Chain A
Amino acid sequence: MGQAYTPGLKVSKYTLIEKERLLPIKGKTLVEKGDEVKPFDIVASAELPGNVYIIKVAGKMGILPAEMEKFLLVKEGDDIKQEQVLAEKKSLFGLIRDTVKSPINGIVESISTVTGQCVLRMQPQPINVLAYIGGIVKEVIPEEGVIIKTKGSFIQGIFGLGGERMGNLKVIVSGPEKSAKTDDLSDDLKDKIIVAGSHTDYHFIKKAMAIGVKGIITAGIDDADIKALLGYEIGVAITGNEKIPLSIVVTEGFGMINMAKQTFELLRSLDGKFVSINGATQIRAGVIRPEIIATDLNYSDEHIKAPEYFLEKGKNIRIIRNPYFGEIAKVVSLPSKLQKLESEAMVRVVEVELENGDKVIVPRANVEIIEG
C-alpha cells in the first residue's frame, strides 16, 4: 500500500479559517453577512433564563392543590419581588394569617393545581458571544449565531486548559528544545500569550498567573502538575471551563517533549502579533482541539494548501507513543504486511527515519502527520 489515512494536528502558516460563533440558547445576532468584525466585537447575544425556584404552596399552607387558586395573590406572568406575599390564608376571623413569600426577584412562570406548586424564575442574565477572531461574517444563522471566515495562521494543540483568550504573542525561549524558567517571567508579560518551549511546570504556571499572563503555549506538561494546579484529576479530556485566569495550549503531549520545529518556527514568526487561543479540548463526541489563531486577511489565497491526511513516503510525521514518543521522523516505507511488535501485537506498520538518521519500525496507529 502506498499510502494510509492518518489525520494529524494542523500547523499551517496560511490557511482558511472558519469559526462558528454560536449562542448556547436562541437569541439574536448583531451583525450582517459580509460585515467585517474584530475579535472583541459582540456578534450575538441572548438572555439566559434565570434560575428556577419551585415553591410547594399547597403543602406549605396545608391545603389541597385544587384549592390553591383561592389563596393566591399572584398569577402566571406576574413580576414579583423578594419577600412579596404569593399566597395568603386567613383563619380564625382573620386573626391568623398563613402566608407564602417569594424568595427571589423575578416572575411567576407557572402555577399547577395538580401538584400545588408555583414555579418562580429569576431575572434573565445576558450572555454575549464575541467574534474571537477578526474576519468577515460568512453566514448568519438566525437566532443562533454566525460563521466568521478569515485567513491566517492556524495551529492545533493536542490538549489544553481554559477557554478563549486573546492577546499579543511573545516567544520567551530561543528554540523548540528549550523550556522557559520562572525567572524568564517578567511583569511586562502581563496580558501576553507566551510561548514557553518544550515544558512547563506548576511553579511556572502559578507565577505566570500572578503576573497576569493570558495564555501559555507549551510542548509538554506533566499530568501531576495539572492535578496540583486544578486540585482534581482530569478524568476525560473535556476541558475549557477550568476556573483559572489563563489558558494553556499543549502542542505535543504529556511529559518532557521538544516542540515540533515547524510549530516553533511558525510561532516565532508570529512573535508580537495578536493571537486568539482556546484551551478547550474535547476528544470525544464532536472533537474540539485547542487552537492558536493569528488572522491576516491580507494573505494571498495562493499560499493556502489543502490539508493532507495520507501517509506517504517522504511525509513528515510525529511519533505519538513510546518508545519513540515525541520524535519527528520521515516516512521511508509503508509495508503492507502485518508485522509483529515487541508487544507481540500483529499490526500494520510504517518504517520511518528519525532525525538522528536511525530507521525504525512503528505501528501506523502511533504516528500522525504534521500538516503544513
Chain B
Amino acid sequence: METGYSDIKRIVATDCGSTTTKAILIEKKGEFYRLIKRGEAPTTVEAPVENVTKGVINAVGELEELTDIKFLNEKQEFIKPQENDKEGTDIYISTSSAGGGLQMMVAGVVKSMTAESAERAALGAGAIVMDIIATNDTRPIHEKIEIIRHLRPDMILLSGGTDGGTIKHVVELAEIIKAANPKARLGISYQLPVIYAGNTAARENIKETLKATALQVTDNIRPTLERENLMPARLMIQELFLEHVMAHAPGYKTLMEWTDVDIMPTPGAVGLIMQTIAKQKKIDIVGVDIGGATTDIFSVFGNIFNRTVSANLGMSYSISEVFAEAGADNIMRWLPFHPDLKDIRNRIKNKMIRPTTIPQTLEELLIEQALAREALRLAFIQHKSLAVGLKGVQQQRTISDAFSQKTSGQTLIDMFKLDMLVGSGGVLSHSPRRQQAALMMIDAFAPIGITDLTVDSIFMMPQLGVLSQVNEKAATDVFEKDCLIYLGTSVAPFGNLKKGIKPVLEVDIEFPDGKRKTEKINYGEIVIYPLGAGETAKATIKPLQGFNMGAGNNKPIEATLNGGVVGIIIDTRGRPFNINLNDEQRKEKIVKWYKAMNLYPTDEFEKITGR
C-alpha cells in the first residue's frame, strides 16, 4: 500500500461515529507500534455546533489531557510533524460514519441478480442501502419514482444486464431515475451522483438519459451471469462519497484538509481489518460492529467477503427500532427479572432521544444488553440472507427466464465452519466485564461447534482499518498487541432435547499444566473452564443423544481450544438456540446462565433477581 509514511513515529487517528468521536494515539516503541491512549467526546454534527471538527478537537483534547502531549496549536490545527516528545504528531487520519453515513439507493434489472449484486457492491463500500429498485419488483412504476424522489439518497448505483446483452430494461430503469429527478440529501444545489455499472452496450443510452445527473460510468458489476465484479463500483462509490457527500456535511471540508489521507467511511475501514484477519490467520470469520445507529456484519468464508448493514439496528439512535423490530417479548426474555413494559418502553425512548447516555445502574445495563442481543441476532439474520452464492447461475436459462425464477443462492455462512467471531462497537468493547461481551455474542450468533470469540479491546478497528492503508506494519502491530482481545472458545453442539435433562456432551480436556478434566455435561448448561489468553488446551469432545459437533451425530471430534480472558465456554443449551418469554423456567435459567458466566456483580445481581 502507501509507503510515504513508513518512518512515522506518532499517529493520531479518529473515528467520527454517529454518537461518539473516538481518538487514539499510537507511537512506535522500539520495534513495534503500540496504542498509547484513547480519548473520546460526543460527535458534533448536530446543532448547536453542527461541525464535526469540534468533536474531533474535543476527543483529541482528551488525549492531550491524558498524555500531556500537545497535538493542536492555538488555532486548533494539528501540529505536524512531531516536534518533540511533548508536541505534535507525524500524521492524522480519520474514518467517519457521522451524519448518517453514506446513504444509497441501488437499482438493477433482476431483483435477485443484478440488483442484489449492486446491493452487495454498495454495502461493501460502506453504504446504507435505503431501497432497491428492480425492473421485476412488484411495485408500479409511479411508486418507484415516488420512492426515489422521497428518499433523497446521497448516491444511486444503477446496474443491469450482462455485457452485450439486451439494453432495454436497464435504460428503462434510467428513465425511471430521470423521471424522478432525484435531489441529493445534503443541499439542493448540487447534482446527485449516479454510478452506472451495468451492460457496457447501454452506456451511450444511459449517458443520454441521465445527462442531468452527475453520472459516472464504471465496469459492469455482473459482466456475465457467472461473474460478479464489485470492486470497480465499490472504489467509485468511496471516491464519490468523499467528493460529493462528505464535502457537503457540516465541517467535513475542514476535516478533509486536516487528514493526511482520505477519510474512509467507518464500515469500509472495519471491512478492511476483518479481511486482513481472515487472510493472515487463514480462517473463516464473522465480525460485527454494533454502533449507535447501525449494526454492520462482516463475513469472510472461503475468501469471499460480505458486509451487510442493518441501517435501523443500533444501540442509541436506532434503539427504538430494535425494540419495534424484535418485539417486546424478545427483548424481555433476556432479562432476569419481570420488567414493567410501559417503563421499559419509556427507558428505550429516552435512550433514543439522548443517545450519548450510559447505563449507571445494573438494571439499566441488563436492559441495554438485552437489546444488544436482539440487535445482533436480527442483523445476523439479515446478513445470512444476503451473504449468498450468485443466483441464477449454472442454469440453462436466459435473463428473461430468470425474471420469474424463485430459486435463491445458498447462504455462505456455515456455522460449523466458522472459526472466529469478532465483536466490535461500544456495547461489546466497553461492556464492564468481558464475559458479558462473550455471552451477548453467543446468545445472538449461536455459534455451533468450536468457535473462537474475540472483541476489539477499546473499539479501534475503524482507525486501524484506515491506518492499514497508510502503514500496514503499524496497523498489524497495534491490532495484534492492543486491539484484539481473545475471550476464549465457545464449544456448542448442534441439537436439542425435547424433554428431560440428560448429558449431551462428554468433554476430555488436557490443560497446559498437564491437568485433565473429563466430564459429562447435561443439556441446558453453560460451563466455564478457565484457560488464559495465549494458552491452548487439547480436547476430545463427544456429542451424545444425537447431538453433533461437526463430524456427525454422536461422532467425537478432537480440537485445540484457545484460551482467553473468559476461558473455554461449554454451551449445551441447544442449537437452534431459543428462549421463550413464556417459558415458566425462563427467569431461573437466565439467572443460572448469567451466574455460570459470572456476568454481573453478585450483590447487585441478587438484589435485582431476588436469588
Binding site for B on A (CB under 8 A): 1, 5, 7, 10, 22-26, 49, 51-54, 65, 109-110, 112, 114-117, 119, 121, 144, 158-159, 222-224, 233-237, 253-255, 281, 283-289, 307, 309, 320-323, 325, 336, 341-347, 362-363, 365-366, 368
Q: In the complex, what distance in Å separates the CA atom of A366 from the CA atom of B433? A: 21
B42:A5 contact, CB within 8 angstroms:
yes
Q: A114-B168, A117-B175, A223-B342 provided; 15 other pairs, C-beta below 8 A?
A: A5-B41, A52-B180, A109-B179, A112-B209, A223-B348, A224-B345, A254-B349, A254-B350, A285-B45, A323-B361, A343-B361, A343-B364, A344-B433, A344-B600, A345-B365
Residue of A7, A284, A325, A343 near B365 (CB, 8 A) is A343
B145:A52 contact, CB within 8 angstroms:
yes
Q: In the complex, what distance in Å separates the CA atom of A194 from the CA atom of B354? A: 25
Interface string of B565-602 (1 = CB under 8 A from A): 00000000000000000000000000000000000110
A-B contact pairs, 29 of them (CB 8 A): A7-B46, A51-B142, A52-B179, A52-B180, A115-B168, A117-B172, A117-B175, A119-B175, A223-B348, A224-B345, A234-B349, A237-B320, A253-B350, A283-B355, A285-B45, A286-B99, A286-B100, A286-B250, A287-B45, A320-B354, A320-B357, A321-B357, A322-B361, A336-B65, A341-B359, A343-B364, A344-B601, A362-B360, A363-B357
Residue of A112, A117, A284 near B18 (CB, 8 A) is A284
- The residue among B41, B46, B293 with the most chain A CB atoms within 10 A of its own CB is B46
A235:B47 contact, CB within 8 angstroms:
no
Instruction: Judge whether B321 is part of the interface by a CB distance below 8 angstroms.
Output: yes
Interface of A is mostly: loop
Query: With A144-B189, A235-B320 as given contacts, are A342 and B142 in contact (CB-CB < 8 Å)?
Result: no
For chain B residues 32-83, which have a beta carbon within 8 Å of chain A?
A: 41-42, 44-50, 58, 65
B interface, size bucket: 35 or more
B175:A342 contact, CB within 8 angstroms:
no
- Which B residues touch A362, using CB under 8 A? 360
- Which B residues touch A224, using CB under 8 A? 341-342, 345
Query: With A110-B178, A237-B317 as given contacts, are A254 and B361 in contact (CB-CB < 8 Å)?
Result: no
Instruction: Judge whether B604 is part of the interface by a CB distance below 8 angstroms.
Output: yes
- Which B residues touch A288, using CB under 8 A? 47
Q: In the complex, what distance in Å separates the CA atom of A308 from the CA atom of B535? A: 52
Q: In the complex, what distance in Å separates the CA atom of A110 from the CA atom of B365? A: 58
User: Nearest-CB distance from A267 to chain B (Å)?
Assistant: 20
- Which A residues touch B49, using CB under 8 A? 7, 309
Residue of B48, B100, B350, B600 near A325 (CB, 8 A) is B350
Residue of A235, A255, A285 near B312 (CB, 8 A) is A235
B171:A235 contact, CB within 8 angstroms:
no
Q: In the complex, what distance in Å separates the CA atom of A158 from the CA atom of B356? A: 14
Please give me the 5 A-B residue pairs with the lowest Cβ-Cβ distance, nearest first: A287-B46, A285-B100, A344-B432, A235-B321, A254-B346
Q: In the complex, what distance in Å separates the CA atom of A26 from the CA atom of B191? A: 12
- Which B residues touch A253, using CB under 8 A? 346, 349-350, 353-354
- Which A residues touch B350, using CB under 8 A? 253-255, 320-321, 325
